[in-house]
Structure 1
Amino acid sequence: MNFCIKPLAAIIALSCAALAQADGNLEGRISDTRNQTVYSGAVIRLEMLGDASMNREVLAAKGGRFRLPQVPAGDYLLSTVVGGKTVDSRTITIRDGETLTANIVLNNAQQDVEEILVIGQAAQMQRALDRQRYADNMISVINADAIGQLPDANAAEALQRVPGLSIERDQGEGRFVRIRGISSDLNSVTVNGTQIPAPEAGSRSVALDVIPSNLLSSLVVTKTLTPDMDANAIGGAVEINSISALDREGAFYSAATQLSYDEQSEHTNPAYSVAGGNTFDFGNDRRLGVAAALSFDNRKFGSDNVETGGAWGFDNGAKLEELEQREYSIERERLGAALNLDYEHGVNHSFYMHNLYSKFSDNEQRVANEIEFADAIAQGESSDAEVVRSLKDREETQKIISSTLGANHFIGDWTVEYKVGISKASEDEPDTIAGADFVSTADISGLSFSNSRKPRINAPSAFYDPAQYELDKIERTRSYTEDKQTMAQLDITRDFDLADYPALVKFGAKTKMREKSQDADTWKYKDLSEDSSVSMSDFASGERDYSLGRFGPGISSNKVRSYMATLDRADAFDDEDSVLEDYDIDEDINAGYLMGRIDADELRVIAGVRYEQTKISARGNALNQSDELVTVKKDNDYSHVLPSVQARWQLADSTQVRAAWTNAVVRPTFEQMRPNFTDDGSEAELGNPDLKALEAANFDLGIEHFMGSAGTLSAFVFRKKIDNFIYETDLAGSADYAAYDEVITFRNGDQATLNGLELAFSHKLDMLPAPFNGLLLAANTTFTRSDATVSAYDSGTLLQRDISLPNQSDVTGNFIIGYENERLSMRLATNYKSEYLAEVGNLENSKGDVYQSAQTQLDFNASYKMTEQLKLSFEVANITDEPYYAYVNKERYNAQYEDYGPTYRVGISYTSF
């Protein structure tokens, strides 16, 4: 702690003395008259004539604005670098106590500059690398500076190309992002500076497939936090930035349409997007930018699944106890919109209001054959079995709304920034058939299976005859989850000279108020076959097209709903289940920080400390041993002091070393800390509102070398020590639950560690003769090792076992080969993640552990510019039909296999610029 505070105290004391200094300031904006573009992300380089050691560099911010405070008086060479090329050089004079405005206008009447490539793979890679190179901390960037330039379908799939990142998929589409192997619950997501809450019940994870990629201007992944950032990111923080009109001059617009074909379901699906805006110039450096974007897509697709859930016994060979065939039919619809207003009142004052709306609707029907063998059987053996044919019919709508209002002011050597934000996420399932079960009237004999990896059922004709099944029960549910958050933030920066070195001190405060609530109701129609037999023949919908063997008839959801309308809904209402899932959790976080930065020749050091105070108030429902429903309330307060130090050392013009020690804290998920419980005296299921927050000390060290066009070579090592990591356990047999058979809850572990190596390379091979000079290569890989200890009770004995952190792959990687010229652009991308632990079976041994197998997905996209404005595109996702596969004990023993097939897309787009 003293290591951080003492340097900061010295900086603050010296900053007061620096008030009397009279250095000058440089500010301005860079724009291009040829393509009406401003260059946010351009490198502005200042070098004192006659003294090459007096160098300053900064990246142009939104609207092409740049500012260099506290510049010693003298004559300088001012250079502008865009896309790795110097596009403008001029001499300027800085005077004491004055602010020089140096607007840089390329391709004006006096100066014709070679056209700058602002779109395309190489340009986006170069601008992303520039942001990475000059950032204070360790970040990775994906740019889409021209609207609609990201080739991936959503934000999650775009992020999987970043070093150290991998994604979790749902029905073959990327949803959640893991950073350096860390669960998505331990990462944070912000949109335009406002943290996004999670629409899903119990979770902190934000599913990024709800945000279409064509609404975005950039994605920034922060891997080492600075004190002015929220500390709730052990893996890292994802910052999503939507479009801004100030990045262009005047009016602009674009429109695109796309058709996709899903090979598995043989459906053709549309997608549309439009975007545009205008910049209004009122003179005297006063500009208003208005930008809007709208995106819509509708996709009908499906998947085929066979799973055992790990129900294998290995005591006497490998024998299967049960399995399930599933066939999914899905209609998924996305609607996204953005409206951003940016106003510059002179060069020193700017105001903004950024708004994002996303709606994600998922209509899913699942028919399943659930088979439970009378006796566990090995492959090739046969047995009688009870068979249940079931239907699930769910319509789910997730919405995210985010609005941020803020301003930036430059007042002499001071910078004042403030903003307020409101965000809301919700998930609505208004009427779900959670299960309509048709049970075989008698055990079906002679069932066997082949292929332990993709089990195929061998069954007699009775298995496929709907007349052999009777409707037994229907479960119907309704649920609504809401996650609301409001925040306010103030940041103040003071620039000054410290012993002739540029320095700053920054401090600020932030408050966040969050409320997560869930309301669910359940109806159970039971024993429907006792009063009058209802045959499945009356509900059958014909033979299903199932690629993993014969499935048999499906079940009509419309017929099931018509039948439910004849039943007594009030009588089926389940009072207990309808309140046991309900909860309401308020979480307030108040934070303050202090940090300083100094540039001493080739060394930049940032040191600071952040303080976060957390107050949690939770309300839920419980069923006690007396079979009484009671309301439970629980409060939990704690605070954290989080110091950090980061350094960037310039070894040479194109090589730098980075080092960081940072601290982060992540609160338990809402499912883990809700106070709800059930307890009947022999079995219990408990939330744990007393859980401690996870705390992580993070160490990072690496080297980056930048070369040529879109070129970099980097290597980073990192180590994370995570205290209080959380896992699910069984406390039956412990001192407090000695007489219980099962007590499922969550508890804190002692410490987990994660060590890793992250390597990255990219380069455009423009040194080759044409046409090969259009080739681009990019590759990255991350190697990690983790260790954690979990424990549970078995017959009163405490068992412990060392495991890897769940959901953490030891190896992730990407390889991309691209090609582009003036008209054609192509990219072939491979994404790989090694197997990882998905579920701990028991603590006696690892035979019951479930692992997700390694996955390699190959994607291709290409575009051709018919004119400067009109472009055709073609994409193939999942070329090699990579399935989802999970196994238990050994890779040949299925836990889950799901097949999606490739998806093909063709599109056409028009841009006005």
Structure 2
Amino acid sequence: MQSTFKKSRLSTCIAAVVISSLSTNLYAQEEKDSVEEIVVSGIRASLTRAVDIKREAASVVDSISAEDIGKLPDTTIADSLQRVTGIQIRRSAGEGSTVNVRGLPQVSTQLNGESFLSPGSITSQQPNFSDIPAELLSGVDVLKSAEAKTLSGGVAGTINLKTRRPLDLKSGWTFAGSAEGTDGSYTDEMGSKISGFAGFNDENFGAIFTVSRSEATLANFRYGMFSDWWFRGYHEDGAQNWPGFQPSKDINGDKDTKDSLFGTIDYGVTNKNSERERTGASASFQFRPNDKLELLADVFYTKLDQYDRTNGVVADNAWGEWDWISPIQQTNRGVAVGGTAGMDFITSSKFDLYTPRVTAKAESQVEKEDSVNLNLQANYEFSDNFKGSARYIHADATHNHTGNFADAFITSGEQHGLFSVTNGVKSWVNPGGEYNPANPKGRILVHADMSGDHPTFAYPTGFGDKISKYSLVSTFSEHNYDNDATLDVLRADGVLTFAEDNSLEFGYRYSNRDISTTDYDLAAPFTRKDKDGKMVTAYAKWKDIGGGISGQAGDDTIGRPLPFSDLDKMGYIHTTGDFGPAKSSGSFYFIDPEVMDDPMAFQNSLYPGNIKVTNWNRSYKLTEDTHTAYIQANFSGDFGVPYKANFGLQAIQTLLDITNYGGAPTSTVNVDGKTVNAIMGTPGPQISSTETRRDDLDLLPRANLSFDITDTQKLRLSYTKTLTQLDGNDLGLGTSYTTNYSSALNTFVVVNAQSDGNPNMKPWRADNYDISYEWYFNDVGILSFGLYRLDIKSFIGTQNTKLYNVPDLDGVVRNNGIDFKQKANVEGGVLQGFEIGYQQAYDFLPGIFSGLGSSLNYTYSDSEGGDQDFYGKTLPMGDNSKHSVNAILWYEKNGFQGRIAYNYRSERYIGRSWNDGSPAAWWSAPTSYVDASVSYDINDNFTVYLQGTNITEEYENTYMQWTDVMVNQNVYEARYTLGLRAKF
């Protein structure tokens, strides 16, 4: 994939690494023939610790160790994890956020071996690693095979985040800290990070305090098809229930009308700035009053405020004009397997859009997240052969999300017949907007080209160049939510030792997790005349100028003209033509998304009186109680070669209490005890409350066996049965309805329904098999090869049925049943593959080259899911890449450290369109990311460093079935960090 980048910055970063790799210390003495003691630190020391952990582990484990206090190898935890064999990550605004192990996201995350509750894991097992400052951690373990004593939670694996222990520090006080500034290749705002560490150890008592504070603004540009999942072939035999659906016609010239042109409802270019303010703090206390007792207390705090602000120019079909695409170059893909008989599926990468509507979009989505995790632990040695521990965990987490949206028309509205009505008098919603007199309907001609490195959309000369052309036509705040969760854990563990390496471990654990999520929209009151001239008051979520007060033709419409010239006087308008590396048609006017950060204040400034209206279909409560008991035997011996083994059983009883709510598709709203009409997407009142109680028992046998073939070689075998509970949303979310506005009916009609949750679904369960070979040829060197297989019992899929007697938003039933898709368990499958890892320090090389080293790994992951593509081929599991590669070249000598890291991930399957059952499969194209860093130890106390992330400015493409059929593209920036680290 081609990328554009700032050559000067890339050259600087690469040059720094090369210089560090080849430079000698000009003041160093010549090497002596005698062997001197070498003290390893930094990169090599961290790799050595990681190798030791893997070698001594009782199961299949890979690790990352901090290079120094407060210094993991990469910017984020997820970025560091992508270097581990078998790990694939997803990015948010260019930073690593979520993790797959061996192709699956069903991965649990622990903190120091126990449950960890973060704002990103309130409704899921895995957190968003953007929440967690990496400076708080000393390392991360990835457990790919579990022991019986390993807390269950990950089908594919478990990620254990580790903090430092005070009594592991040197005696006395230890202080460390860092300060850094960060610049992006597209953003103008400098980022900053400050972190501090203080630790004390007097042999019997120790304490650690860590704090981290960072601010960053990250750029993310998106081009192409704008609204995900709304893909469709728009000309098909058999009209569907869509307003304005066009009859079939001959597209490919074969003299029949059995043709379907792939397209979507909207195309555009957007820029998004993600402003992140991340704070983390931790404290750890360790006390050993005598040789028998150890007391531990840990507090782990995270806080994230994130502001995603977006502006974009989007051309759309007014959600109904399906004849708006005219292909310039087209390819006939033939007839899909299982598709409509004789229906040719046609794609085009160059086409004209005769668009009825062009909008200047503004969005502000804000995340407010915080969490506190408390651990109290006592370890006691009852006798020489019996030890025990007791542990209590308490955690609280909140995640509050708001979304605020504003759509301004650059077109007049006449192109698709959208008008406002005041006292029975009609006018176009944006009468001063753009109109094309050369087109019979006044549509704007947009030339679209999605065949190059970046999609481009060319508008007519001078289009949108005057503020008088713009008017705010629609604004709303929807799918806001308040998520809250608490976690309490009480556990006791014991180990009875019979002889060296022979012991029996056992324990009991009780946990309680409570989740509450409330989804809400904002709705404002409007008083207008209905078609009969009667004054009517109604609350509306979508404050659309063209929406009728009672949903009937002839109503006065809500909203009011809001020309940009007026909003500019309020300080709401700015201009930008910055859409990254893609060609732009110039600057456009937008509402500044920063003024939209407070949805209530913004909406009230335009339409006073907004209230929060609960969206019951997306609100729920869930309580999960688990009782876990395990027993595990550990023993060793000699069976021709020395071996170690552990066998055990974990029993888990899971008690679930799920409360789902149902809301009406048509609505009223309660205001101060009065029932008032609600229109324009306002959520309906609660009409149902269903409580589901479940009691599941799982028995999970687990076995791990390792043979020391030689002093440096190991062979491992393992079998584990694993379990991952479903995300809360999978169990708790209810049914939502998709509606489209019909200008002919002057109301929103219901076109389909979808339930994103099902309280009766079973958890993920799998049988995991591992065999691996490991050769440790020196303290940092390792060559490993592993085979794995996961037999997954069931997936989460969907089932399709029909819902009948569903009214449109004016209360009238017009459809003969609507499509209803609900999540459900479907038959499982197999995920299997192999991993190869190699790591070595080339200290046998002469002179300055002896500081070189490398780490290489490759993972092959093959899977089968439940979907089929256009040709009937079975598709893999979602989000799994078959091939992934990591390659790191590093250097460390004479105070210099340098590293270049390359990460490759092959294509991954995203899914099939739920909206129209398109026969094509949606994929994300392969990606290659390059990071680099260099540092120099000024003296024993200070280190200066430079780091570059995504220095080639890699971007991510998605495509529909064929690589030349681009769906959309996300462009992330390169980021460069200069910092100073100190330790005393």
TM-score normalised to the size of structure 1? 0.81
Q: Which residue of 2 aligns with 1:194?
A: 114
Answer yes or no: is the 8 Å Cα contact 2:615–2:663 preserved in 1.
Answer: no
Q: Distance in 1 between matches of 2:292 and 2:816?
A: 70
Q: Distance in 2 between matches of 1:440 and 1:657?
A: 68
Q: Distance in 1 between matches of 2:542 and 2:914?
A: 34
Cα deviation, residue 567, structure 1? 4.6
Answer yes or no: is the 8 Å Cα contact 2:781–2:840 preserved in 1.
Answer: yes
Q: Distance in 2 between matches of 1:260 and 1:678?
A: 42
Relative contact order (C-alpha < 8 Å, sep 6+): which is higher?
A: 2
1:617 aligns with 2:657: yes
Answer yes or no: is the 8 Å Cα contact 2:207–2:285 preserved in 1.
Answer: yes
Look up the equivalent residue of 2:447 and give its one-letter code.
S
Q: Which residue of 2 aligns with 1:171?
A: 93
Cα deviation, residue 471, structure 1? 2.0
Answer yes or no: is the 8 Å Cα contact 2:315–2:358 preserved in 1.
Answer: yes
Residue 209 (structure 1) aligned to one of 84, 105, 130: 130
Comparing 721-730 with 899-908, greater Cα deviation is found at: 721-730
Residue 426 (structure 1) aligned to one of 385, 389, 398: 398
Q: Distance in 2 between matches of 1:671 and 1:748?
A: 15
Cα deviation, residue 897, structure 1? 0.7
Answer yes or no: is the 8 Å Cα contact 2:928–2:954 preserved in 1.
Answer: yes
Q: Which residue of 2 aligns with 1:417?
A: 389
TM-score normalised to the size of structure 2? 0.75
Distance 1:437 1:191, change over 3 A: farther
Q: Which residue of 1 aligns with 2:285?
A: 341
Q: 1:753-764 to 2 correspondence within 5 Å?
A: 753-764=830-841
Q: Which residue of 2 aligns with 1:150?
A: 72
Q: 1:829-840 to 2 correspondence within 5 Å?
A: 829-840=901-912
Q: 1:397-546 to 2 correspondence within 5 Å?
A: 397-410=368-381, 411-429=383-401, 432-438=403-409, 440-442=411-413, 443=415, 444-452=443-451, 454-460=454-460, 461-477=462-478, 478-497=480-499, 502-523=501-522, 524-528=541-545, 530=557, 532-539=560-567, 540-546=573-579
Answer yes or no: is the 8 Å Cα contact 1:266–1:301 preserved in 2.
Answer: no
Give the superposed CA RMSD: 2.7
1:262 aligns with 2:184: yes
Comparing 722-731 with 759-768, greater Cα deviation is found at: 722-731
Residue 211 (structure 2) aligned to one of 294, 301, 307: 294
Cα deviation, residue 203, structure 1? 3.4
Distance 1:846 1:447, change over 3 A: closer
Q: Which residue of 1 aligns with 2:326?
A: 377
Residue 267 (structure 2) aligned to one of 291, 315, 323: 323
Answer yes or no: is the 8 Å Cα contact 2:357–2:409 preserved in 1.
Answer: no
- SS for the counterpart of 1:440 is coil
Q: Which residue of 1 aligns with 2:570?
A: none
Residue 565 (structure 1) aligned to one of 590, 597, 604: 604
Q: Which residue of 1 aligns with 2:358?
A: 387
Residue 750 (structure 1) aligned to one of 803, 813, 827: 827
Q: Distance in 2 between matches of 1:558 and 1:224?
A: 47
Higher share in strand: 1
Q: Which residue of 2 aligns with 1:306?
A: 223
Answer yes or no: is the 8 Å Cα contact 2:232–2:918 preserved in 1.
Answer: no
Residue 726 (structure 2) aligned to one of 655, 658, 668: 668
Q: Distance in 2 between matches of 1:483 and 1:768?
A: 55
Look up the equivalent residue of 2:754 and give its one-letter code.
E
What per-residue deviation string (whole Å, max 9, x for no partner) do you get for residues 622-642 of structure 1?
025897622222212211011
- SS for the counterpart of 1:189 is strand
Answer yes or no: is the 8 Å Cα contact 1:329–1:364 preserved in 2.
Answer: yes
- SS for the counterpart of 2:44 is helix
Cα deviation, residue 589, structure 1? 1.1
What per-residue deviation string (whole Å, max 9, x for no partner) do you get for residues 851-891 of structure 1?
11111100000110111111110111111110122111212
What per-residue deviation string (whole Å, max 9, x for no partner) do you get for residues 385-421 of structure 1?
3122221112211212111111222222011022111
Look up the equivalent residue of 1:759 and give its one-letter code.
I
Q: Which residue of 1 aligns with 2:648?
A: 608
Q: Which residue of 1 aligns with 2:241?
A: none
Comparing 527-536 with 454-463, greater Cα deviation is found at: 527-536
Cα deviation, residue 122, structure 1? 1.4
Cα deviation, residue 171, structure 1? 0.6
- SS for the counterpart of 1:266 is coil
Cα deviation, residue 457, structure 1? 1.0
Residue 700 (structure 2) aligned to one of 642, 647, 650: 642
Aligned residues with identical type, % of pairs: 20
Look up the equivalent residue of 1:673 and give its one-letter code.
L
Q: Distance in 2 between matches of 1:625 and 1:866?
A: 66
Answer yes or no: is the 8 Å Cα contact 1:118–1:124 preserved in 2.
Answer: no
- SS for the counterpart of 1:803 is coil
Cα deviation, residue 438, structure 1? 3.8
Q: Distance in 1 between matches of 2:490 and 2:957?
A: 44
Distance 1:843 1:521, change over 3 A: closer
* Matched residue count: 779
1:897 aligns with 2:869: no
Q: Distance in 2 between matches of 1:553 and 1:729?
A: 44
Answer yes or no: is the 8 Å Cα contact 2:89–2:100 preserved in 1.
Answer: yes
Look up the equivalent residue of 1:564 and give its one-letter code.
Q
Q: Distance in 2 between matches of 1:198 and 1:402?
A: 8
Look up the equivalent residue of 1:208 and give its one-letter code.
F
Q: Which residue of 2 aligns with 1:247?
A: 168
Distance 1:197 1:767, change over 3 A: same
Distance 1:387 1:863, change over 3 A: same
What per-residue deviation string (whole Å, max 9, x for no partner) do you get for residues 480-533 of structure 1?
111221111111111114xxx741111111111101111232112523364632
Q: Distance in 2 between matches of 1:791 and 1:333?
A: 42
Q: Distance in 2 between matches of 1:115 and 1:569?
A: 75
Look up the equivalent residue of 1:291 and give its one-letter code.
I
Answer yes or no: is the 8 Å Cα contact 1:221–1:236 preserved in 2.
Answer: yes
- SS for the counterpart of 1:151 is coil
Q: Which residue of 2 aligns with 1:769?
A: 846
Cα deviation, residue 455, structure 1? 2.1
Distance 1:178 1:679, change over 3 A: closer
- SS for the counterpart of 1:750 is strand
Answer yes or no: is the 8 Å Cα contact 1:194–1:422 preserved in 2.
Answer: no
Distance 1:684 1:777, change over 3 A: same
Residue 363 (structure 1) aligned to one of 307, 320, 323: 307
Cα deviation, residue 344, structure 1? 1.7
Look up the equivalent residue of 2:644 and give its one-letter code.
R
Comparing 552-561 with 169-178, greater Cα deviation is found at: 552-561
Look up the equivalent residue of 2:834 and give its one-letter code.
L
Distance 1:493 1:474, change over 3 A: same
- SS for the counterpart of 1:133 is helix
Cα deviation, residue 603, structure 1? 1.2
- SS for the counterpart of 2:187 is coil
Cα deviation, residue 842, structure 1? 6.4
Look up the equivalent residue of 2:195 and give its one-letter code.
S
